[in-house]
Amino acid sequence: MSEKQKTHFGYQQVDTEAKAGMVADVFHSVAARYDLMNDLMSGGVHRIWKRFTIELSGVRKGHSVLDIAGGTGDLAAKFSRIVGDDGRVVLADINDSMLKVGRDKLLDTGHQGNIEFVQADAQFLPFPDDSFDCITIAFGLRNVTAKETALRSMLRVLKPGGRLLVLEFSKPENELLSKAYDTYSFRLLPLMGQLVAGDSESYQYLAESIRMHPDQDTLKDMMEDAGFARVEYHNMTGGIVALHKGIKA
């Protein structure tokens, strides 16, 4: 019998087929306090990162947008207003707890009609070819087991000329910033998770998953290998976060 394939779950080596379930457990645990923790962890700066993502998206009235790993719906809410009644926004997440929190939040704030909610795996998107003008994935790609498979799946469902935007934690440009960021991530973040969400282990995993994610140039190469054209990235907050953009030719 062949040996099972391995992948990383944070710093652990786990069976590839087990990773999705382990990531799911993390997000089941943090879903209810996800928005609060985002604000606390980033000092609210995640809203600026997301605003820049929307500015670079080129989304207009009547467009179709897919927000993968859309979680609690920050991007979907903004896209819903931009595309209007003639447009379409699909908030997709593999995790049903996150999807439920996002759906409840958006419906409570009056976002409905042009938003659909779909439980979907980024690696195997359940949409026809050439379906969307824009795809976003914010702080979700690092949790995907096979990132190359997911990127090819995103390319398939984009319309020709459509854009993919990947907003993700990345590698700080400055060594001093990198050391300070490590101290924050591995000491304060799990403590904050314990105090606010009653879960230090999930936030320890999230810190580790950031370190295991490809750096800016590696992710750029991966997007080009998947078939995206004109790939570029923009560092924000000293490279702690990077926004990658690619076009379907």
Specify binding-site residues for S-adenosyl-L-methionine: 72, 93, 121-122
3-state secondary structure the chain: CCCCCEEEECCEEEEHHHHHHHHHHHHHHHHHHHHHHHHHHHCCCHHHHHHHHHHHHCCCCCCEEEEECCCCCHHHHHHHHHHCCCCEEEEEECCHHHHHHHHHHHHHCCCCCCEEEEECCHHHCCCCCCCEEEEEEECCHHHCCCHHHHHHHHHHHEEEEEEEEEEEECCCCCHHHHHHHHHHHHHHHHHHHHHHHCCHHHHHHHHHHHHHCCCHHHHHHHHHHHCCEEEEEEEEHHHCEEEEEEECC
Instruction: Detail the residues annotated as belonging to a binding site.
Output: 72, 93, 121-122
8 Å CB contact between 167 and 50? yes
Q: Which residue has the tokens 């995640």?
A: 46
- Torsional class of 8: left (φ above 0), alpha (ψ -120 to 50), beta (otherwise): beta
